[in-house]
Amino acid sequence: MRAIHYLNQFFAGLGGEEAAETQPTRLDGAVGPGRGLAAALEEVEIVATLACGDDYFGEHEEKALAVLLDLLEAERPDVLIAGPAFGSGRYGYACARFSRMAAERFGIPALAAMHEENPGVGATDGKALVVPTGVNVAGMRDALPRMASLAEALASGRELGPPEEEGYLPRGFRRNRIDERPGAERAVDLLLAKLGGETRSEVASGFDRVEPPPPVTDLSQALVALVTEAGCVPQGNPDRLPTIRAQGWLRYSLAGEASLRSGEYESVHGGFDVTLANEDPNRLVPLDTVRALEGEGRLGRIHDAFYTTTGNGTPVAVSTRFGHEIAAELTASGVEAVLLSGT
């Protein structure tokens, strides 16, 4: 099986910072760290090394990628190996972008090796494996055998085990599998471990973060929208919003409405007792109060529709899509602040 190895100008032996503007180039066989890698590879041969200056890649990314991808395609490799870039941000970014594009564009499995805090880690977008390394070149000896064994796995098409067993960084998705031991036994194991001072989890919490947007400067001039995950709909649920595992969200007009009156609105949420909510739906969507505040001038204007779904058993990817779609409508309507309720 054939591998292509990607290096920056320094590790390819083309020069230091003075050569950082080097354009993409092809070298025969294994070069620099590639020699150590080749020694660790059994079934895979490094047929060529592609190299590019870090600055050239950063400043001319599209051009550099286009040339590198052409050179790569001509070699028809079974795997692309990039780095190790250790803690170098420019080099790590180039490794990540190139390996991601190789996987996306040609379906060539790819791995990029770098320190786990290298900004390049995020640039693979889960399309290429990231093999964690030390922060500097002292981590070379430790990194090469691990890169080699994962490269063999990728080239042969072997199905990979979980990140902690195979030695790559989590790619941001979960795979279901049947375990031989029931959940109760595994939970007791985790509990005992925790009592022993070691906190482990079978499920990594991999939620990304969003920086809080700046506050509203003047609410008395702002357009404010009401959104709810509490399953609030017009009485009788005319659009059949599901009580659980909703596949979509709904928008209902608030034009001319002063309050969400009982008997005109209800909650169909299947995850809590809706008795109190149905007695007074303003307990979920506080229209009566925000209308009063609108009248008093505390709020500029209430958006003339509210958005609703049932946040109950909704997979993360699905509710992310809801949020994305609702946000697009709110943005298009010029909404400047949102009151959201969840149960």
Residue 326 makes contact with other proteins by CB under 8 A:
yes
CB 38 within 8 A of CB 30: yes
For other proteins, the binding residue among 39, 191, 193, 276 (CB under 8 A) is 276
CB 52 within 8 A of CB 18: no
Residue 172 makes contact with other proteins by CB under 8 A:
no
For other proteins, the closer CB: 196 or 215: 215
Instruction: Considering only the stretches 23-31, 122-130, 196-204, 223-231, report the one whose residues sit in contact with other proteins under the rule CB under 8 A.
Output: 223-231
Token look-up 């200056």 returns 53
Residue 208 makes contact with other proteins by CB under 8 A:
yes
Residue 244 makes contact with other proteins by CB under 8 A:
no
Q: How far is the CB of 73 from other proteins (least distance, A)?
A: 36
What is the distance between the alpha carbons of residues 38 and 34, in angstroms, rounded to a whole number?
Answer: 6
Structure tokens at 56: 């050239």
Q: How far is the CB of 190 from other proteins (least distance, A)?
A: 18
Residue 215 makes contact with other proteins by CB under 8 A:
yes
Q: How far is the CB of 253 from other proteins (least distance, A)?
A: 20
For other proteins, the closer CB: 86 or 322: 322
CB 14 within 8 A of CB 22: yes
For other proteins, the binding residue among 69, 150, 284, 302 (CB under 8 A) is 284
Instruction: Considering only the stretches 79-87, 91-99, 137-145, 281-289, report the one whose residues sit in contact with other proteins under the rule CB under 8 A.
Output: 281-289
Query: Own/partner pairs for 100-103, CB < 8 Å, 24+ apart?
Result: 100/124, 100/125, 100/127, 100/128, 101/65, 101/69, 102/69, 102/72, 102/128, 103/127, 103/128
Q: How far is the CB of 174 from other proteins (least distance, A)?
A: 15
Residue 296 makes contact with other proteins by CB under 8 A:
no
What is the distance between the alpha carbons of residues 222 and 216, in angstroms, rounded to a whole number?
Answer: 8
- Count Cα neighbours of 288 within 13 Å in the Cβ-side half-sphere: 9
Residues of span 89-148 touching other proteins by CB under 8 A: none
Residue 272 makes contact with other proteins by CB under 8 A:
yes
Q: How far is the CB of 288 from other proteins (least distance, A)?
A: 7
CB 324 within 8 A of CB 213: no
Rg of the chain taking only CA atoms, in angstroms: 27
According to DSSP, residue 162 is labeled: -
For other proteins, the binding residue among 9, 124, 133, 282 (CB under 8 A) is 282
Token look-up 């482990």 returns 200
Residue 289 makes contact with other proteins by CB under 8 A:
yes
What is the distance between the alpha carbons of residues 270 and 284, in angstroms, rounded to a whole number?
Answer: 14
Residue 159 makes contact with other proteins by CB under 8 A:
no
How many CB atoms are closer than 10 A to CB 246?
24
What is the distance between the alpha carbons of residues 18 and 116, in angstroms, rounded to a whole number?
Answer: 27
Residue 330 makes contact with other proteins by CB under 8 A:
yes
Q: Note the residues at the interface with other proteins (CB under 8 A).
A: 205, 207-216, 219, 227, 229-230, 272-277, 280, 282-286, 288-290, 292-293, 298-299, 309, 311, 314, 316, 319-320, 322-324, 326-328, 330-331, 335-343
